[in-house]
């Protein structure tokens, strides 16, 4: 057997694979017939004997989890060391090398408050939440507004599952999310020119979209602190700043929340922030991006390539408004 891998979802692409090996492997996989267009996630998993190894996961350590092939990409996953060492997490400073400082974050126990327009206000800790959701892995493109990008295998669960737990009332129009803000160990939070905590928001329709994901892991392991432990949002059709890290509070609200970056620099970073190559940032073009680990730029795709999933959310808004960065 040429491909000797423990998990069947490793077949198509994996981290730290250089592009040549990746392409060669893909060809091979294709030749083996695993990549047929009609390949259903369920059927493939069921028929693969190697999936038995999934049973090793326990409640205490559920990783790695099965990859959902519905969101497979034909580009290589970004090298893990880049994803975990080149970060934006302003609570720890306004530079990329925040990983060392982020290690001081206290994530165990982790209390999450679910409040606002809900049937019942709920406090739940991370273990309690993990017991109520089914984890899966999704490989998504991720595009920062600063024009760098990456492809990350996120482990987690659809945000939709959290909506089902929270039971928002019909008065809920938006979901507001908040990051922990503790100036005892977050140097950025001591900088008073920003309005802490970090806040992000989605419309209820955006939050319920099947792409909206809560990541609790990356690369088959629990998510590192610098990437937003123990849980962060991932909305891959929007610029990276929408994907709020280390969430402690989900509040269902009637009015559109004022987001962190909107308050700091609304003219540059608006509420919608849909990836749109034809709407430039006031100070740079958004037409292309630089994948981490690559010298060459590649074209940026409308909705970051996820139009089939999300374009219908924005019908009635002009394209420009849908990508709103100016307001
Ligand atoms: N709480 C919080 N969440 C945040 C940020 C932040 O500074 N604080 N930065 C955002 C930005 S600008 C980006 S590009 C991504 C970066 O995620 P990564 O470090 O995992 O690549 O996180 C987003 N979520
Ligand atoms: Mo970003």
Strand 288-291 and strand 148-158: pairing?
parallel
13-266: CATH architecture: Alpha-Beta Complex (3.90)
Stretch 298-311: mean pLDDT: 96
Q: Which atom of ligand 1 is nearest to the CA of 87?
A: 19
Find all residues with CB under 8 Å of 255, minimum gap 6, and list them: 173, 174
Q: Cα–Cα distance between 37 and 49 in angstroms, integer? A: 21
C-alpha distance from residue 74 to each of 19, 22, 30, 245 (Å) = 11, 10, 12, 27
pLDDT surpassing 90 at residue 203: yes
Stretch 78-89: mean pLDDT: 98
Helix (H/G/I), strand (E/B), else coil: 221: strand
- The helix, strand and coil proportions of the chain, stated in percent and rounded to the nearest 5, come to 30, 20, 50
Whole-number pLDDT of residue 157: 98
Pocket flag, ligand 1, residue 241 (CB < 6 Å) = yes
Pocket flag, ligand 1, residue 154 (CB < 6 Å) = no
CA nearest to 274, candidates 143, 186, 175 = 143
The number of the ligand nearest the C-alpha atom of 200 reads: 1
Pocket flag, ligand 1, residue 143 (CB < 6 Å) = no
pLDDT surpassing 60 at residue 302: yes
Pocket flag, ligand 1, residue 90 (CB < 6 Å) = yes
Given pLDDT bands bounded at 50, 70 and 90, which one contains residue 61? confident
Whole-number pLDDT of residue 37: 34
Task: For residue 51, report the phi and psi dihedrals to the nearest 5 degrees.
Answer: -65, -15
Phi-psi region of 273 (alpha: psi -120 to 50; beta: other; left: phi over 0): left
Pocket flag, ligand 1, residue 242 (CB < 6 Å) = no
Whole-number pLDDT of residue 53: 36
Given pLDDT bands bounded at 50, 70 and 90, which one contains residue 21? very low
Strand 111-116 and strand 247-253: pairing?
parallel
pLDDT surpassing 70 at residue 325: no
CA triplet 50, 142, 72: central angle to 5 degrees? 30
The two structure tokens encoding residue 182: 């503790």
CA of 239 to the centre of ligand 1 (A): 10
The two structure tokens encoding residue 190: 């001591």
CA nearest to 88, candidates 192, 193, 232, 214 = 232
Q: Cα–Cα distance between 212 and 1 in angstroms, integer? A: 37
pLDDT surpassing 90 at residue 232: yes
Phi-psi region of 243 (alpha: psi -120 to 50; beta: other; left: phi over 0): beta
Stretch 75-87: mean pLDDT: 97
Find all residues with CB under 8 Å of 324, minimum gap 6, and list them: 270, 271, 272, 273, 274
Q: Are 16 and 79 in contact (CB under 8 A)?
A: yes
Pocket flag, ligand 1, residue 78 (CB < 6 Å) = no
Q: Are 156 and 214 in contact (CB under 8 A)?
A: yes
Domain boundaries along the sequence of the chain: 13-266
Residue 211 CB-half CA count within 13 A: 25
Q: Atom 19 (ligand 1): residue with closest C-alpha? A: 87
What pLDDT digit, counting tens, does each position of 90-126 carry?
999 999 999 999 999 999 999 999 999 999 999 999 9
C-alpha distance from residue 326 to each of 174, 274, 302 (Å) = 20, 12, 17
pLDDT surpassing 60 at residue 39: no
Residue 268 DSSP symbol? T
- The H or E element containing residue 261 is helix 260-265
Whole-number pLDDT of residue 75: 86
Q: Cα–Cα distance between 8 and 34 in angstroms, integer? A: 10
Q: Are 250 and 175 in contact (CB under 8 A)?
A: yes
Stretch 124-145: mean pLDDT: 97
Q: Are 97 and 84 in contact (CB under 8 A)?
A: no
Mutate to test the pocket of ligand 1, among 77, 88, 222, 232 (most ligand atoms within 8 A of CB): 88
Q: Atom 23 (ligand 1): residue with closest C-alpha? A: 241
Cα-trace Rg, the chain: 20
Q: What is the pTM of this model?
A: 0.83
pLDDT surpassing 50 at residue 1: no
Say which residue, 46 or 213, is predicted with more confidence.
213
- Chain mean pLDDT for the chain: 84
Q: Are 292 and 141 in contact (CB under 8 A)?
A: no
The number of the ligand nearest the C-alpha atom of 180 reads: 1
Whole-number pLDDT of residue 57: 46
């Amino acid at each position: 057997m040429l491909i000797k891998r423990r998990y069947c979802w490793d077949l198509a692409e994996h981290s730290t694979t250089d592009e040549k090996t990746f392409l060669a492997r893909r060809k091979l996989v294709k030749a083996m017939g695993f990549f047929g267009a009609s390949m259903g996630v369920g059927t493939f998993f069921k028929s693969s004997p190697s999936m038995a190894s999934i049973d090793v996961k326990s409640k205490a350590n559920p990783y790695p989890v099965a990859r959902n092939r519905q969101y497979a990409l034909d580009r290589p996953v970004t090298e893990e060391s880049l994803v975990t060492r080149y970060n934006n997490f302003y609570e720890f400073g306004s530079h990329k090398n925040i990983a060392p400082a982020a290690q001081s974050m206290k994530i165990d126990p982790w209390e999450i408050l679910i409040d606002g327009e809900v049937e019942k206000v709920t406090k739940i800790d991370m273990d309690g939440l993990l017991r109520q959701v089914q984890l899966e892995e999704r490989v998504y493109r991720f595009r920062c507004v600063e024009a760098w990008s990456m492809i990350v295998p996120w482990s987690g669960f659809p945000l939709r599952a959290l909506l089902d737990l929270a039971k928002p009332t019909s008065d809920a129009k938006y979901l507001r999310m908040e990051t922990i803000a503790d100036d005892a160990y977050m140097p950025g939070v001591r900088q008073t020119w920003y309005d802490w905590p970090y806040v992000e928001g989605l419309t209820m329709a955006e939050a319920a979209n099947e792409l909206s994901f809560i990541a609790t892991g990356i690369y088959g392991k629990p998510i590192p602190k610098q990437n937003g432990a123990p849980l962060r949002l991932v909305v891959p059709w929007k610029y990276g700043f929408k994907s709020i890290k280390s969430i402690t509070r989900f509040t269902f609200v009637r009015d559109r929340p004022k987001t962190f970056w909107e308050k700091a620099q609304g003219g540059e970073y608006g509420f919608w922030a849909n990836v749109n190559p034809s709407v430039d940032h006031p100070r740079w073009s958004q037409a292309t991006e630089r994948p981490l680990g690559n010298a060459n730029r590649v074209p940026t795709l409308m909705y970051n390539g996820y139009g089939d999933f999300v374009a219908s959310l924005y019908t009635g808004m002009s394209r420009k408004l849908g990508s709103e960065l100016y307001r």
